[in-house]
Structure 1
Amino acid sequence: MSSVAYLRSRVSRIPVVALAGAVLIAVAVSLLLIQIGPSAWALELGDSDNFMRLAEVRDWLGGQSWWDIRQHRVDPPHGLYTHWSRLADLPLAAAIVALRPFVPGIGERLALVVVPLLLLVPALLLQSAIATGLGGRLAGLAALGLGALATPMLVQFVPGRIDHHGLQIVLVLAAVAALVHWPGARGGAGAAVASAVSLTVGLETAPYLAVIAGYVALDWAWHGDDQNAASTVRGYGIALAVAVPALFAATVPIADWALAKGDAIGRGHVAVAVVGGVALAVLPQLWLGRDARLVAVAALGVVLAGLVLKLFPELILAPYAMVGPLLARLWMGHIVEMRSVFADAATSPMAALGRVWFVAVAAVAAVILARRGGRKLLVAFLAVTALGLGCWEMRALGLATAVAVPPAGAALAALWHRRAAGGSLMPFIIGLVVIGHLPLIVLSAGASAPAVNRGLPCNTPSALAPLAVLPRGVVLAPIDMGGSLLALTPHSVVATPIHRDVHGNMLAYTILRAPPSAEPPPGIDYIGYCPADGETRILAADAPRGLLAALIAGRVPPWLTPVGSGPFRTWRVTASR
């Protein structure tokens, strides 16, 4: 047999659904690689969090301790103690270390391109696996197709998107898939471990993890006579009580264990996980009836709530409360992704509807599917949660869309099966249009505003090259430039787009908004701004007599000398300090 004939014979044995799924994944990855790959290769990473992650990984690979997650080049000499986790640094750092020996000099750039795409593959496969568990292989294939077109989710996996959001999507989907596909202790333990890793990476997924924990507990309370339900809650409880403190100990320095933290995993999260996990592991041993089980779960919820309110109130405080009213008004209040869909609807109703359409329709489909019981009920709870979170804050739409894909795929498969059983084709066609992403595309296109050219962006290597070659110093610039300045230049910065950098951000805003003084601010070597940034216009409009507005108008204090060239306007502080 020739090699070609042998290959054809092997391919012919691959199930059509699996082959179609592989093609869909390959197409999604290839399109993202072609469209976004060149920008990532050129270190044009767009979002400031990507630059911050790159700077953090470089520092770690450059010798900074695993336990030291401080950005020492931020707000010197204080530095910035970030709320980020080393676990989120692992994918990029591992790829860089693995690639360097084979492609010297370009390993980092190659890692920036491939790491997000490598995370996309398990995300799509997990969506397909969950949908398959809900509605069979056709549902899994439909979920692959929907996932490959789900723009709000895909933007978290484009080349250069090295922040932790893509990893969080994979972890939440892994927790759900474990419960859907693995009955008993194995599924419970798998869901708990994935939840523990997700909690350690960041707290954005906490509402989903709470829904998963609540479902596991209530499923046992209602079906506790079923051995699988008892085994699931037991496995979940044991794994949660072990994994959360283990990961906490592995990523948080001992000196910080007692700190009260509401924006990263802290003592309170560990206490709740251990108490709740141990209770869930012990309760199935008591052989309680259904009513007693329901009472026990409710009592556990009250105990955990009391534990939080009495000992760990930081868990329910607003994570951005430390920012303060000035930064909230001038900076965070203008971050588009942190706005609610309802606020966005006031100015662009069609675009707002387009953003949540898919998640809303998928939530309705999930609730309808949940009438059949089983793990479909869990997926319905999560889909409704996803809709609420996506409407509350637009940056949550990436994960919300990812969670919505499996029930949407299962709904399409159900409509097709109804047609195959002799029904009309029209319901399937209508469902394909309504559930598919066409409404999002149409509504978004109809609401798009004409582009406004406000100048060249400054967060690129070419834009910051003139500054990068100057002697190292401290740069004072608006907040949103902080990440790219750290990653693309050797300089230190005062302000960064991290909510914990309150001192540095307030210092930067105080200087930029105050009238130019006769003497330069101490500890600053360079002052700059980007004309194209919205933050620049906001600050100048808010303080028309301030230093930033003066620089824009050409009224330069005598202690500043222009340096470099390009879109990022830069001055060197020349007067003696």
Structure 2
Amino acid sequence: MTMPRPAAQAPIRRGPGTWLVPASLYALLILLIYGVFGFQLLSDGRSLLEVDGYMRLERVLQLHATGGWWDSTLHDSNAPFGEDQHWTRLLDVLLLLGAWALQPLTGSFSAALHWWGVAIAPLFHVALAFAGCWAMAPVVRRQGHLVLALLAQPTLWGYMMPGRPDHHGLLLLVAILALGVMVRTSRGEEGRGGLAVLSGGALGLGIWAAPEVLVAAAIANVVFGLGWLLGQRPGARFGAMHALAMTAVIALAIAVEYPPAAWSTIAYDKVSLPQLGCAMATLAAWAGLWLVEARLFSGPARTAVAVLVVGACGAGLLALFPQLAAGPLASVDSRLWDVWLAQVREMRPLLSYDDEGGKIILFLGPVAVAALGVALAIREKGLAGWCRSGEAAVALFAAVYVVLGLMQVRWTVYQGFALAQPIAGLVGLAERGIDRWRVSDALRSVARVGAIVLIVLGTDIASLVLQAGAQGLETQRMKGQLAACTPTAITPALNDAALVGAPTGGDTKLTILAPMNLSPALVYRTDMRVIGTPYHRNVDGILDTNTVYRATDDAAARAVLDRRRVDLLLLCPRMNGEADGTLAHDLLSGGSRSWLAPLALPPAAEKQGFRLYRVLHQGTRSSTE
């Protein structure tokens, strides 16, 4: 169908009334959809949806119990040494405040924290509904189309599910607020400095939560910088105010996160001097441009000065912090890539999902639809008009995160809101084309519904069909069996003192060596210490856990277990995929060791394939002897 170009269109209305009502309906749908999942998690009392959530809540429980604000070590992990964590206190404070507010209703802080932990991600999604509709208001003609497009973005729903008390929602929220400012500045708006403070402050908070928000900060400065090169409003003063707000928030973060003696800490995976250096270099660049912009009238002159100023600031930054360009994982121990990081799904390239073509379409399908929307919008408005409308800023934001998502799946969460805008525009173009059909109103209405379903849900439906076709009933049955090893099945046994026995060596808590992706749940749901966890700073814990499970020489495994005074060894088929000849494979295949005493597990744990052993150190005897 050929889309005729309308001769003229009414300007997009952008008052609060145009986006508040659709945002409120979107928020209501979020709460209704998530409500069922949330009640299921609350009924158990200690269950969460994702592994990081357990460690997040355990971290807050420790802070509440000890008051150790500057103590970033989780003492029940990497036993007996403790695990230094790269997370910051920003999300901890949000979790604390919510738990304190709910405590009068639950009667205990731990129960209140769990309730709030289940609810916080959906509430971030609610906040995103309002932030996203505000951000896109200047570039979306009908907010209802935007809401429909957002409802079909799988990454948004996956990361904001109940029971995921993590920072992903917070990071996306600040990025979308900054995107809203980019859209407005592309249209020549300045907001009397308020927009600059909003974008800089929001991005500063995001960097406080996780350095990956530096990507969004870079996109913002590119958008502001391109506008400055073209001589558009707002000018360099706006960029300087934006950078000043970001610098102030990051400086505050360092003062809050570290004791004064540690303010000079250099860390690439946590807010510290390198991130402050980025903000200060940005501020220096914008301040330099502000000083000279009144004398620069031509585009070439502005370009030359910008290259000189930005290049000097960037070179100075990299000279001080040479690993900054490598990203947050710059200082990760290289040994972890082979034994762990290379297998983490979120760290894998999207196209590596070669056995799940449906999932690739689920992520990249909306990209193709959005690209068509962008092409038709440029055709309709012309390239210059499209850029001045603010839609180019949205497209740049989406393009950066699509490329990053192709390299590592975890980045795909950022692309959803940006992709929704051109998809919504494509729906609008289709509707306007259908309105010109010389057919009955009933047929026109049917066509509108069909167009919406095809544009908004077409790739989602295709993905589901492909995934269903690729998995026969037998494959689904086997996959369901292997997906077991749940905390709810094993923790009742681990909390049974009569079964697991008492700690050895005078310890007050038992130490268990368990699969890394299960360990955070065990820390949270039991009173035990663990060894390996899926976090890059726990290098020794990860390497020692792999040494035990993959040992082909019992002496190597026993050396680790003895050194860490491990009381219990836990295995499960889904999480222990070690090769033939290793300790884990042998034990799961029915083998035994004289220095491991098997413990009888309840039926629920045995059904999932769990195996639990008491470690017999020198001087101890098996109860079966």
TM-score band by shorter chain is: 0.7 to 0.9
The equivalent residue for 1:310 is 319
- Worse-matched range after superposition: 520-529 or 504-513: 520-529
User: What amino acid is the match of 2:136?
Assistant: A
The equivalent residue for 2:134 is 129
**With structure 1 as the length reference, what TM-score do the two structures score?**
0.88
Once residues 89 and 367 of structure 1 are traced to their aligned partners in structure 2, the CA distance between those partners, rounded to angstroms, is 43
Contact 1:474 1:524 in 2 (8 A): yes
Once residues 336 and 586 of structure 2 are traced to their aligned partners in structure 1, the CA distance between those partners, rounded to angstroms, is 21
C-alpha offsets along residues 294-315 of structure 1, whole Å, 9 cap, x if unaligned?
A: 2232223312331243220121
Once residues 356 and 331 of structure 1 are traced to their aligned partners in structure 2, the CA distance between those partners, rounded to angstroms, is 26
The equivalent residue for 1:446 is 466
C-alpha offsets along residues 309-354 of structure 1, whole Å, 9 cap, x if unaligned?
A: 322012123644655565423422222222212222x333343122
Once residues 536 and 496 of structure 1 are traced to their aligned partners in structure 2, the CA distance between those partners, rounded to angstroms, is 14
Q: Which of 254, 258, 262 is matched with 2:264 structurally? A: 258
Q: Which of 70, 76, 80 is matched with 2:79 structurally? A: 76
The equivalent residue for 1:4 is none
Q: Confirm whether residue 169 of structure 1 aligns to residue 169 of structure 2.
A: no
Q: Confirm whether residue 509 of structure 1 aligns to residue 518 of structure 2.
A: no
The equivalent residue for 1:196 is 204
Once residues 134 and 453 of structure 2 are traced to their aligned partners in structure 1, the CA distance between those partners, rounded to angstroms, is 23
Change (3 A) 1:441 1:53: farther
C-alpha offsets along residues 172-207 of structure 1, whole Å, 9 cap, x if unaligned?
A: 111112343583222122111111111111123332
The equivalent residue for 2:92 is 89
- Offset of 1:421 from its aligned partner? 7.0
Contact 1:171 1:198 in 2 (8 A): yes
CA RMSD of aligned residues (A): 2.8
Contact 2:19 2:137 in 1 (8 A): no
Contact 1:483 1:496 in 2 (8 A): yes
Once residues 230 and 323 of structure 1 are traced to their aligned partners in structure 2, the CA distance between those partners, rounded to angstroms, is 37
Change (3 A) 1:188 1:423: farther
Once residues 249 and 427 of structure 1 are traced to their aligned partners in structure 2, the CA distance between those partners, rounded to angstroms, is 58
Contact 2:80 2:564 in 1 (8 A): no
Q: Which of 321, 334, 346 is matched with 1:337 structurally? A: 346
Once residues 257 and 421 of structure 2 are traced to their aligned partners in structure 1, the CA distance between those partners, rounded to angstroms, is 32
- Offset of 1:90 from its aligned partner? 2.5
Q: Confirm whether residue 39 of structure 1 aligns to residue 41 of structure 2.
A: yes
Contact 1:362 1:407 in 2 (8 A): yes
The residue matched to 1:159 in structure 2 has which SS? Answer: coil
The equivalent residue for 2:527 is 490
- Offset of 1:463 from its aligned partner? 2.2
Q: Which of 397, 411, 421 is matched with 1:406 structurally? A: 421
The equivalent residue for 1:554 is 590
- Worse-matched range after superposition: 64-73 or 177-186: 177-186
Change (3 A) 1:85 1:423: farther
Unaligned 5+ segments in structure 1 are: 1-13
Change (3 A) 1:15 1:306: closer
- Worse-matched range after superposition: 243-252 or 520-529: 520-529
- Offset of 1:369 from its aligned partner? 4.2
The equivalent residue for 1:528 is 569
The residue matched to 1:570 in structure 2 has which SS? Answer: strand
The residue matched to 2:106 in structure 1 has which SS? Answer: coil
Change (3 A) 1:118 1:327: same
Q: Confirm whether residue 107 of structure 1 aligns to residue 112 of structure 2.
A: yes
- Worse-matched range after superposition: 486-495 or 123-132: 123-132
Once residues 427 and 269 of structure 1 are traced to their aligned partners in structure 2, the CA distance between those partners, rounded to angstroms, is 51
Change (3 A) 1:55 1:423: farther
The equivalent residue for 1:576 is 618
* Structure label with greater radius of gyration: 2
- Offset of 1:91 from its aligned partner? 2.4
C-alpha offsets along residues 250-287 of structure 1, whole Å, 9 cap, x if unaligned?
A: 22333443333222222122112112113313422431
The residue correspondences of 1:272-287 to structure 2 (distance < 5 A) are 272-286=278-292, 287=294
Once residues 598 and 568 of structure 2 are traced to their aligned partners in structure 1, the CA distance between those partners, rounded to angstroms, is 9
Once residues 295 and 249 of structure 1 are traced to their aligned partners in structure 2, the CA distance between those partners, rounded to angstroms, is 37
Once residues 68 and 359 of structure 2 are traced to their aligned partners in structure 1, the CA distance between those partners, rounded to angstroms, is 45
**With structure 2 as the length reference, what TM-score do the two structures score?**
0.81
The equivalent residue for 1:7 is none
Once residues 421 and 437 of structure 2 are traced to their aligned partners in structure 1, the CA distance between those partners, rounded to angstroms, is 25
Change (3 A) 1:322 1:454: farther
